[in-house]
């Protein structure tokens, strides 16, 4: 009996160890899954160089997707460290991170930050690898990023990093480029796709205007406002956002 007990105890301990390691493995899988969206929920990822780029360029589109039940992830390459005159990088990053988080809350999007520095963003093998990890982990169904012909280095870098990750992960999802301040920053942008944002434009503006440090509200009538209306004219609706689809990705019609 003693031996049996001991054998049973040994078996039990062996079983327990195996069961425990199985449980731990499934628990860690659950943790990973818990940090991501539910398997059935589709997801968009919008990458931008600075807080305010995703909002001003495709905030109306983000809201259209969120309204349709999609999860929206907004990836900021930097925290806008160099974007407030007379303020330290650290303080500007604090202010602009808070603004980005507020904007994302209004859009019901999840903000993530890639950890680069505004005005000093890098395109290096390590940064390529970082972006690949982000894109692979998030595994969105649709990706949006800057059109790469742009006067701002951070915008170009963001586009290049996302494009490289997208290439290396097998061009799995449709990739769309967006315009920021066309004519001022975005260059030679010829849209292939439009999203009617008439129904979401007011909420988009609310999300844009929380970027108080960037005076978006004060300047909206000179850049993004006319863009929305002009793209609306082209798309024959009230207001629109425009995109260029990368032809090497899967075909897609935007919402
Ligand atoms: Zn920017």
User: In the prediction, which pLDDT does 117 show?
Assistant: 98
User: In the prediction, which pLDDT does 122 show?
Assistant: 98
Tell me how far the alpha carbon of residue 28 lies from the centroid of ligand 1, in angstroms: 37
Is residue 145 within 8 A of residue 111, CB to CB? The reply is no
Tell me how far the alpha carbon of residue 78 lies from the centroid of ligand 1, in angstroms: 9
User: In the prediction, which pLDDT does 137 show?
Assistant: 98
The residue-averaged pLDDT of 61-69 equals 98
Tell me how far the alpha carbon of residue 146 lies from the centroid of ligand 1, in angstroms: 9
Same domain, 76 and 104: yes
**Percentage of the chain modeled with pLDDT above 90:** 82
Provide the whole-model pTM.
0.84
Same domain, 22 and 50: no
Same domain, 222 and 137: yes
> Which residues have a Cβ under 8 Å from the Cβ of 155 and sit 6 or more positions away?
48, 49, 53, 146, 148, 180, 185, 186
Tell me how far the alpha carbon of residue 224 lies from the centroid of ligand 1, in angstroms: 13
Angle, CA 89 vertex, CA 157 and CA 156 arms, to 5°: 10
Same domain, 22 and 83: no
Tell me how far the alpha carbon of residue 231 lies from the centroid of ligand 1, in angstroms: 20
User: In the prediction, which pLDDT does 183 show?
Assistant: 86
Residue 117 located in a structural domain: yes
Same domain, 51 and 89: yes
Residue 11 located in a structural domain: yes
Higher-pLDDT residue of 28 and 224 is 224
Is residue 57 within 8 A of residue 152, CB to CB? The reply is no
User: In the prediction, which pLDDT does 199 show?
Assistant: 98
Q: Would you state the torsion angle of the CA atoms of residues 144, 180, 204, 115, taken in this order, to the nearest 10 degrees?
A: 60
Residue 251 located in a structural domain: no
Same domain, 160 and 65: yes
pLDDT tens for each residue of 157-171: 999 999 999 999 999
Measured CA to CA, the distance from residue 161 to residue 130 in angstroms comes to: 9
Same domain, 13 and 123: no
pLDDT band at 192 (very low <50, low <70, confident <90, very high): very high
Residue 120 located in a structural domain: yes
Same domain, 108 and 182: yes
Measured CA to CA, the distance from residue 12 to residue 242 in angstroms comes to: 63
List Cα–Cα distances, 69 to 18, 42, 108, in angstroms. 40, 8, 11
Residue 191 located in a structural domain: yes
User: In the prediction, which pLDDT does 12 show?
Assistant: 41
Measured CA to CA, the distance from residue 190 to residue 241 in angstroms comes to: 12
Measured CA to CA, the distance from residue 91 to residue 168 in angstroms comes to: 36
User: What are φ and ψ of residue 138, in 5° steps?
Assistant: -75, -35
Same domain, 216 and 95: yes
Alpha helices of 50-152 — where are they, by DSSP H? 53-67, 89-107, 125-138
Domain span at residue 166 reads 38-245
CATH of the domain at 238: 3.40.50.10320
Same domain, 11 and 108: no
Is residue 127 within 8 A of residue 162, CB to CB? The reply is no
pLDDT band at 36 (very low <50, low <70, confident <90, very high): low
Same domain, 126 and 147: yes
Q: Give the number of domains in the chain.
A: 2
Same domain, 22 and 59: no
pLDDT tens for each residue of 135-154: 999 999 999 999 999 999 99
Residue 103 located in a structural domain: yes
User: In the prediction, which pLDDT does 166 show?
Assistant: 98
User: What are φ and ψ of residue 52, in 5° steps?
Assistant: 105, -25
The residue-averaged pLDDT of 204-214 equals 98
């Amino acid at each position: 009996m003693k031996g049996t007990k001991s054998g049973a105890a040994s078996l039990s301990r062996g079983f327990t160890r195996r069961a425990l390691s199985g449980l731990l493995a499934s628990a860690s899988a659950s943790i990973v899954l818990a940090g991501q969206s539910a398997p059935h929920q589709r997801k968009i990822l919008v990458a931008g160089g600075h807080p305010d780029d995703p909002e001003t360029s495709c905030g109306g589109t983000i809201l259209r997707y969120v309204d349709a039940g999609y999860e929206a992830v907004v990836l900021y390459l930097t925290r806008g460290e160099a974007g407030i005159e007379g303020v330290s990088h650290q303080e500007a990053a604090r202010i602009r991170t808070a603004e980005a988080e507020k904007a994302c809350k209004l859009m019901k999007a999840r903000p993530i930050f890639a950890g680069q520095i505004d005005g000093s963003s890098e395109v290096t093998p390590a940064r390529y690898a970082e972006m690949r990890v982000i894109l692979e982990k998030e595994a969105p169904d649709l990706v949006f990023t800057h059109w790469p012909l742009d006067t701002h280095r951070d915008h170009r870098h963001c586009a290049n990093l996302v494009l490289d990750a997208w290439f290396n992960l097998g061009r799995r999802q449709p990739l769309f480029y967006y315009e920021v301040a066309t004519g001022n920053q975005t260059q030679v942008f010829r849209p292939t796709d439009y999203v009617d944002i008439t129904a979401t434009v007011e909420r988009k503006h609310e999300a844009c205007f929380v970027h108080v440090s960037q005076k978006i509200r004060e300047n909206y009538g000179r850049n993004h406002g006319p863009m929305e209306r002009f793209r609306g004219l082209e798309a024959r609706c009230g207001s629109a956002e425009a995109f260029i689809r990368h032809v090497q990705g899967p075909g897609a019609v935007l919402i």
